[in-house]
Amino acid sequence: MYHAVIDAGYNSFRIVIYEVFSNGTFRTIGSLKYFVRIGQGLEEGKFISEDRIEEAEIALKNFKKILDSNKKIEDVKIVATSAFRYASNGEEASKRLSKVIGKEIRIVSGEEEGRYSAIGMLNTLPISSGILFELGGGSLEIIEVNSGNISKVYQLPLGALKLSKSSEKEIRKKVDDNLSTTNLKNTKILVGSGGNVRALAKLDEKLSSFNSRSIHGYFLPSKQINKYATVLQTLDLEDRSSLPGISKDRALTIHSAAIILDELAKYFGVENILVSSFGMREGVLTEGKKLDRNSWLEGIALSHCVDPPHAIMEDILSQIDGKYSFYIASATYLASVFKMAGYLNPYDICYRFTKNAVMPGFTLNEAILIGLLCKSVNSKVKKRYIKAINEDISKKEIYNFGKIIKNAVNKYIAGVRI
């Protein structure tokens, strides 16, 4: 089944098309974004300007062409966020834009936006407790989660576009003042989502030469955030847009976003912010579902049109104990999926997949570790790749695990063919 979610945000409007599998997992088929900036210059209680509404109409007309041309899309959800909540003509604007797209645009409350963001992150990362946040153009949603349950949601008027013209000192004071109104304290895990969060992660990943093209589950060091917060503020728009991973449109807000993230990291006392590629839109998509790492492994098999090889994971987990047993089992599972899908070298495909694709359900370090275990079956593993994922595992151990994976896959495939 194909589903579409449109996010009419303060800074940008975006449509994402998903293929949703029978177990509730999904893969992104495509997306299109327009930096409408409908909330630019908007003060609470004032009007969304006519020129911004006209920009939004252009975006939605193009989204409608996509929906009309793709008959496979069975469900479309459209949500509007903070700009529509702040503006005195927000309801009127949403009704006008609903006519353009031919479907109802629902204005979500700050609490709803926070809950959707939390659902999107909980369903795509191996976390159950901590502080989650989504930084948008006009607002910051902060969510406290305990044992997989959302306990508190705070919506603060702190957005990257909203504060983009403020000085560093002004931004820090506003963030500090707003955070002090919450009852939240230090946490071991701080997870962030939003376009600017992902852009900052891309910048850091490229500058550190991390061995991946994905930033989902990437650990963004707080000390690096602090450096970016200081340096980006001193650069002009052109200089910021010339940085790796920063587009010209994103350069307009990345400096203010970095300062907000720096204040969040300091307030919650964390060494890293765990970055999510998914947030509110995926929360809207997966509302009511509980997805974990096993769900996502099953989804990979379903996306390759093969029966999920659950038995091979169970066999590995029953035979091997220890810190890396689940990752060995996952590598064996993925190699079996790619083997059954017809790839001649399933171990290399497994490595390339974990390195280049977004892998929901896992941190990026976990995904890369699984890929390195697959790679060790037929190829050499570079020591610097192991060091980059902060795992206390030797090359010898990895190669020994690779032998286990190869034997298990061969045995399983032989049994399937019989």
Q: How many domains does the chain have?
A: 3
Q: What is the CA radius of gyration of the chain?
A: 22
The domain of 84 spans: 2-107
Q: Cα(414)–Cα(351) distance, rounded to whole angstroms?
A: 22
Instruction: Express each pLDDT in 67-106 by its tens digit.
Output: 999 989 999 999 999 999 989 999 999 999 999 999 999 9
pLDDT of residue 390: 85
DSSP state of 43: P
Q: Which of 67, 55, 77 minimizes the C-alpha distance to 10?
A: 55
Q: Cα(113)–Cα(142) distance, rounded to whole angstroms?
A: 10
Say if CB 74 and CB 26 are below 8 A apart.
Answer: no
The two structure tokens encoding residue 281 = 């839109």
Beta-bridge partner residues of 20: 26
Last residue of a domain, one of 81, 107, 133: 107
Last residue of a domain, one of 107, 130, 162: 107
Secondary structure (3-state) at 359: coil
Beta-bridge partner residues of 272: 221
Segments of 81-200 assigned E as strands: 106-107, 130-135, 140-146, 149-156, 190-193
* 278 and 306 belong to one structural domain: no
Q: Is residue 141 part of a domain?
A: yes
pLDDT in tens, the chain (418 residues): 999 999 999 999 999 999 999 999 999 999 999 999 999 888 777 899 999 999 999 999 999 999 999 989 999 999 999 999 989 999 999 999 999 999 999 999 999 999 999 999 999 999 999 999 999 999 999 999 999 999 999 999 999 999 999 999 999 999 999 999 998 989 999 999 999 999 999 999 999 888 788 999 999 999 999 999 999 999 999 999 999 989 999 999 999 999 999 999 999 999 999 999 999 999 999 999 999 999 999 999 999 999 999 999 999 999 998 999 999 999 999 999 999 999 999 999 999 999 999 999 999 999 999 999 999 999 999 888 888 888 889 999 999 999 999 999 999 888 765 3
Tell how strand 73-80 and strand 106-107 pair up: parallel
**In the chain, pLDDT over 90 holds for what percent of residues?**
90
pLDDT of residue 239: 96
pLDDT of residue 416: 62
Instruction: Express each pLDDT in 265-318 by its tens digit.
Output: 999 999 999 999 999 999 999 999 999 999 999 999 999 999 999 999 999 999
Residues 6+ apart with CB under 8 A from 253: 11, 137, 160, 161, 164, 196
Secondary structure (3-state) at 143: strand
pLDDT of residue 387: 86
Say if CB 257 and CB 134 are below 8 A apart.
Answer: no
Q: Is residue 288 part of a domain?
A: no
pLDDT of residue 212: 84
Last residue of a domain, one of 226, 248, 283: 283
Q: Cα(170)–Cα(187) distance, rounded to whole angstroms?
A: 25
* 233 and 346 belong to one structural domain: no
* 320 and 276 belong to one structural domain: no
Q: Is residue 92 part of a domain?
A: yes
Alpha helices in 233-324 (DSSP H): 237-241, 248-251, 254-268, 280-286, 293-303, 310-319
| Sheet bearing 106-107, strands edge to edge | 26-34, 13-20, 2-8, 73-80, 106-107
CATH code (residue 69): 3.30.420.40
Q: Which of 173, 179, 178, 171 minimizes the C-alpha distance to 196?
A: 171
* 267 and 303 belong to one structural domain: no
Q: Which of 292, 248, 261 minimizes the C-alpha distance to 171?
A: 261
pLDDT of residue 25: 97
Place of tokens 């089992």: 329
pLDDT of residue 418: 38
Q: Is the overall model pTM greater than 0.85, yes or no?
A: yes
Secondary structure (3-state) at 296: helix
Q: Is residue 410 part of a domain?
A: yes
Positive/negative CA dihedral, 330, 335, 339, 341: positive
Distance of alpha carbon 50 from the chain centroid: 32
pLDDT of residue 413: 87
Q: Is residue 154 part of a domain?
A: yes
Q: Is residue 314 part of a domain?
A: yes
